[in-house]
Amino acid sequence: MNKTAAETRAFLNEFIPLVEHANNIDIVIAPPFTSIYAAAGLVANSSIHLAAQNMYYEEKGAYTGEIAPSMLTDAGCSHVIIGHSERRQYFKETDDIINRKTKIARKHDLKVIFCIGESLDEREAGKTFDVLNREILEGLKDVPSEGIIVAYEPIWAIGTGKTATTEQAQDAHHYIRERLAALYGAAADEIRILYGGSVTPDNIDALMNCADVDGALVGGASLKADSFSRIVKFKTNL
């Protein structure tokens, strides 16, 4: 819940020139609903894609305060984030709700950034893989692999300043890749797995050197053009 329409325009006017030469990198930004139109006008002639932070699982109707998938595509979105830990935590979204949202998003050709991750209590209880397995199987039930991007966001590392070690991130991503392979077979090789959890310019290089980390879901560090552009232009083979 950051950036008015005016602030979004100011951010993009600064950010777009900083990443215009970032070749072979897919950049997706997800402003709040009220700033999507403002962003769409500025990214239209760039390589940046536009996402919404959430949506509802019905086409239209008496669902006051909700946003339909067709409204997102009409506004210029190509992606939508579904199942973010904050939606699960604060708004009590279940795996079934997330599954329904994912299905209708794909029906409207929206690419889904599908978020999964464990809490600190679950990690300390040794339940990380159990949680990830459940969220994958129930959240992606009857959902084809096409258009799915998975984001692993350990809840204990979001906005806390704590970051999973590269070993913890790699272990979780490797497990997720195995579960996706069990679900989709060879098609799972085309699914990107992003890491999200206090990603910063200081840790992005090490994270992106993990074999099974394909990208990042960036939170607070994406609010400033200079820090976000440094993350986009990460360095590998350190």
Give pLDDT tens digits for 151-167.
Answer: 999 988 877 777 789 99
Alpha helix positions (H), 91-189: 95-107, 120-124, 128-139, 166-184
pTM score, whole prediction: 0.96
Whether residue 119 has pLDDT greater than 80: yes
Q: Are 124 and 162 in contact (CB under 8 A)?
A: no
pLDDT of residue 237: 60
List, in order of start, the domains of the chain with CATH numbers.
Answer: 5-232 (3.20.20.70)
pLDDT tens for residues 173-219? 999 999 999 999 999 999 999 999 889 999 999 999 999 999 999 99
Residues 6+ apart with CB under 8 A from 41: none
pLDDT of residue 160: 72
Q: For residues 57 and 35, what is the distance between their CA atoms, to the nearest angstrom?
A: 21
**Rounded mean pLDDT of the chain?**
95
Amino acid at 229: S
Nearest partner of 19 among 238, 229, 236, judged by Cα: 229
First to last CA, the chain: 35
Residue 59 class from Cβ within 10 Å (0-12 exposed, 13-18 middle, 19+ buried)?
Answer: exposed
Token code pair at residue 213: 């980390």
Q: Are 193 and 210 in contact (CB under 8 A)?
A: no
Residue 27, strand partner residues: 48
Q: For residues 172 and 103, what is the distance between their CA atoms, to the nearest angstrom?
A: 25
Give the helix/strand (H/E) hosting 42: helix 36-43
pLDDT tens for residues 65-112? 999 999 999 999 999 999 999 999 999 999 999 999 999 999 999 999
Q: At what angle do helices 5-19 and 36-43 cross, to 10 degrees?
A: 30
Active site residues: 84, 153
